[in-house]
A and B are shown apart, each in its own frame.
Chain A
């Protein structure tokens, strides 16, 4: 694995707005309404919110697959959409479903982004094998996706993302569809690897336990990705995590910050 020479860049989201127009009615739907968020280098941030709150739209904008209607996302001063190609090998994603290519073996799936980066064949193979081995798949490198369990496939997807050795890791409900034991194990591995790599990690989830377990920070999104609370988990005592969970739940239900989170809304 390559040693990182410089840390990941900060991420700045300012006045971010995304409006879709419904194809049938022509009606405008505001998916994200003027979001401001700063993510520090090497930070692990969990974004929680109810279904339809704009989390996945935010995810697509972060990857650069879609353009904001207004405002911007800047990663190290560059837009992931406008400067799309300059982020090759810098951002990697783990999706809700594994999204492996069925015609490729586990090894070839893990190699895919490295092929796109144009790395030498030896390096592609070495990196992909290293990450598959770290994720406990050394015996299954030649297996096709249909020959693997759901958990194993998701491990391949994680290996594919880590093989990029990216500055920024994005995970969209990446462990939500797995059984609790496998999900907890993979979450732990994901976090450990991200910290070891020194990558900035953004996890989108609807599971509060997951958000509290992995995040340095938790951004609580309300409707249209309104930032209801920006929680620094480190400020909370582990014994108060139960209360934190209840406070986040209350915030989501009321669509406004629960008084127990007042310390996390300073300046808002």
Chain B
């Protein structure tokens, strides 16, 4: 299969007929509900028509989208780097693993809202607060996924490469890292979705830019169509990032049967 064929087979990038049909059915149902809402006892502003939502989409400020995107990508890169380095250290040192593992499980059990409140209490800078929340939520996911993947590298392959006597860095670069690349891509896809949701909540608290902030403004103005418009942008952003990762994945993992 060529890269192009493989890329076409990735669900995120393709737009099959079934997807179009389900979207169309949803749009018709929504529009119908919007028109019938006064008769159903629902306030008209609660279910804005698609035209109104589309009008709100045209008023979206690209700078807020760019700021949120930058926060997400920046935090994911830092989370991934930290997760990878710590996973490598924990793979090599059982003692370190024994010390850190319980702490990481605790970090993962803390609700996002608690992290946001801690960030507000601990740090004065808005950007640092948002970055902290994203890293503390996404970092452990990268770490655990990477560590599990390293431990799943077949013993036969580890023995094979060890029989040729690699140095410790060579062992990681020639075997472990390439072997865990498929898991790294999966982890990125999971974390993109997580980061998009978390950044929105983090931006609701204290930020003066970003999609979360704009959602907060729309809520204060009772502009439901704006809330929907920003939500549509968020979903589109998530799909876009996933599509980019899927395309890179198809290229990097072209060796897969």
Show the binding face of A for B, using Cβ within 8 Å: 60, 63-65, 84-85, 87-89, 91-93, 95, 97, 99, 101-104, 112-113, 115-117, 144, 146, 164
Contact = CB atoms under 8 A, between A and B. Distances in A.
B178 A101 contact: yes
Given A60-B159, A116-B161, A116-B166, 10 more contacts: A63-B162, A95-B159, A95-B160, A97-B156, A115-B174, A116-B165, A116-B167, A116-B170, A117-B164, A164-B164
A95 B155 CA distance: 13
B257 A101 contact: no
Contacts of B167: 116
B164 A144 contact: no
A99 B157 contact: yes
Nearest to A86: B165
B164 A112 contact: yes
Given A101-B178, A103-B178, A116-B174, A85 B157 contact: no
B203 to A, nearest CB: 39
Interface class of chain B by DSSP: helix
B165 A84 contact: yes
B120 to A, nearest CB: 45
B18 interface: no
Contacts of B181: 103
Contact of A101 (B157, B170, B253, B256): B157
B163 interface: yes
B175 A101 contact: yes
A150 to B, nearest CB: 15
B249 to A, nearest CB: 13
Contacts of A97: 156
A116 B170 CA distance: 7
19 contacts: A63-B163, A65-B159, A65-B163, A87-B165, A91-B163, A92-B163, A93-B160, A95-B159, A95-B160, A99-B157, A102-B255, A103-B178, A103-B181, A113-B164, A116-B161, A116-B165, A116-B167, A146-B255, A164-B164
Interface in B137-175: 156-157, 159-167, 170, 174-175
A103 B255 contact: yes
Q: Which 7 A-B pairs have the closest CB atoms?
A: A99-B160, A88-B165, A113-B164, A146-B257, A93-B163, A103-B255, A116-B166
Interface in B154-209: 156-157, 159-167, 170, 174-175, 178-179, 181
